[in-house]
Structure 1
Amino acid sequence: MQNAKDSFYIALRNRLATVNPNRTMTLRGVTRPGILVEDAEAPMPQMLLDAFTLRWTTFATDSQLPSILAQMACEIHYATAGTQGNLGLDRGRALEEMDDELLQILCPSSTAKYNYTTTPATAMGTMVFWSQAVFGATTVARERMERVATVNVFAFQETGEA
């Protein structure tokens, strides 16, 4: 189901670049939109501030349909310490801004599925779609305010997909 996971990530990444072009991060000397997939990056001692981190948690299939339907849970972790100019006293507002951005990039709740192992990426025959986000409670750890939103992502397995 890697194609579905990649397609979900790329859709959110591209939408974030449109919704808030200033939400960027720099990893390994490359500046890019502020969203990453945890299992595709080097381990980090803690989540990046002011960026979205996708963590894939559960996987299930329904084989009672004409095509196998996969369901994967994706936790979207994000945290902020506010801005330096406001000495972090705006961290609540900054977290709400990230909540709003996440809602925007999750709509519409579908995207075409692509195979990103080819250049250019190859369109596949189905879509990837997802549920509404379920937002967890805000947690505070020192200067950081954090939240986790969970989305269930669905995709039909196509012929030749692993």
Structure 2
Amino acid sequence: MQNAKDTFYEVLRNRIAALNPGRTTVVRGITRPAILVEENELPTEFHLPDCFRVRWLQMSADANGCMPLMMLPCAIEYETPGTSANGGMDRGRTLAALDGELLAVLNQWPQSAQKNNYTPLSNGQPAAPMAANIWWGEPAFGAIEVKQDRLARTVTVVVMSYQEAGEL
């Protein structure tokens, strides 16, 4: 279900970039929208501040239909120290801004997208549209966590898609 994961990431990345072009981060010297998928990055103990981190959880399947319905829960984690201009004393407001942005991109219509195969990108070709769509449920916001000088939150959302023939 790598195609569903990649498509969900692309949708979130593009929506975050459109909603708040200033929400960027630098990863390995490249400035990009402040969202990353943990399994696609080098392992690190350091969490980039003010950046959404997608972590995929245990996948499940419902094989009762003509095509298996795959359910891919993910945790979207983020944390903030607040702004340096305010000495970090605005970290609650900064976390609320991150909450609002994530809620806006997850609830933006449509809450679905055509699933794409991004493998051709490695050969300089465009992503290939697939027959199925992805869609996702309502986000569940976890409690605020205090991590030394940062406030953090984890939001879970379930991404769903039908598994197509030959798809891993």
- TM-score of Structure 1 vs Structure 2, range by shorter chain: over 0.9
Q: CA deviation at 1:42?
A: 0.4
1:150 aligns with 2:152: no
2:56 is paired with a residue whose SS is strand
1:97 — aligned with what? 97
Q: Offset of 1:54 from its aligned partner?
A: 0.1
CA RMSD of aligned residues (A): 0.7
Is 1:116 matched with 2:122? no
Counterpart in 1 of 2:87?
87
Match for 2:141 among 135, 138, 141?
Answer: 135
The alignment-based identity, stated in percent, is 46
How far off its partner does 1:76 sit?
A: 0.1
Structure 1 residues not aligned, in runs of 5+: none
Task: Tell me, in whole angstroms, the C-alpha distance in 2 between the residues paired with 1:102 and 1:27.
Answer: 20
Rounded to whole Å, the distance in 1 between the matches of 2:85 and 2:55 is 31
Q: What is the alpha-carbon distance in structure 2 between the residues aligned to residue 57 and residue 68 of structure 1?
A: 18
Q: How many residues align?
A: 162
Match of 1:159 in 2: 165
Q: Distance in 1 between matches of 2:148 and 2:75?
A: 22
TM-score (normalizing by structure 2): 0.95
Q: Secondary structure at the match of 1:58?
A: coil
| 1:126 Cα deviation from its structure 2 partner | 1.1
> What secondary structure is seen at the aligned counterpart in 2 of 1:4?
helix
| Divergent runs of 4+, >2 A | none
